[in-house]
């Protein structure tokens, strides 16, 4: 109930951004499950971009992370893909990074999105612990 009240208190722009973010995160989750790596890497792949205003970048990152709470399977990778696509839609540059780290005998994988030298999505796990394997740039 608290979430609904907070949603209703958002300005119209915030409501629209959150609804768009839910759609993008759902699309990214489905795409990852149905399409090969090549297809979703291309979706977030390299294209020209501008330096994004920090406020707009922060709003996009907030909307994606908030939407991910409502979408099953919205781990770091679908969040990073959705944010990369959205930033590209507005012509802003970003870098999608996929990496691995060793945790004892096991490997962990993580995806994060960077723009302007800052981690936008996936920063809750320290990307510095991971060795980047793949980068899909939008700069």
Q: Give the pLDDT means over successive 10-residue stretches in the chain (139 positions).
A: 74 86 93 87 63 76 92 94 88 85 85 86 77 62
Between the CA atoms of 8, 123, 24 and 96, what dihedral angle is there, to the nearest 10 degrees? 160
HSE-CB at 26 with a 13 A cutoff on CA atoms is: 8
- Start-to-end CA span in the chain (Å): 40
- Spatial strand order of the sheet with 94-103 comes to 118-121, 106-115, 94-103, 131-138
Please give the pLDDT value at position 49.
56
Please give the pLDDT value at position 104.
80
């Amino acid at each position: 109930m608290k979430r609904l009240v907070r949603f209703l208190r958002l300005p119209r722009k915030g409501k629209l951004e959150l609804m768009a973010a839910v759609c993008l995160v759902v699309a990214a989750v489905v795409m990852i499950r149905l399409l090969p790596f090549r297809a979703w890497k291309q979706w977030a792949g390299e294209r020209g971009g501008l330096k994004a205003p920090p406020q707009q970048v922060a709003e996009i990152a907030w909307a994606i992370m908030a939407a991910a709470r409502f979408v099953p399977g919205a781990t770091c990778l679908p969040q990073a893909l959705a944010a990369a696509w959205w930033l590209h839609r507005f012509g802003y540059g970003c870098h999608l990074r996929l990496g691995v780290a060793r945790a004892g005998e096991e490997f962990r994988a993580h995806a994060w999105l960077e723009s302007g030298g800052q981690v936008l999505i996936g920063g809750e796990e320290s990307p510095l612990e991971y060795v980047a394997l793949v980068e899909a740039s939008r700069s």
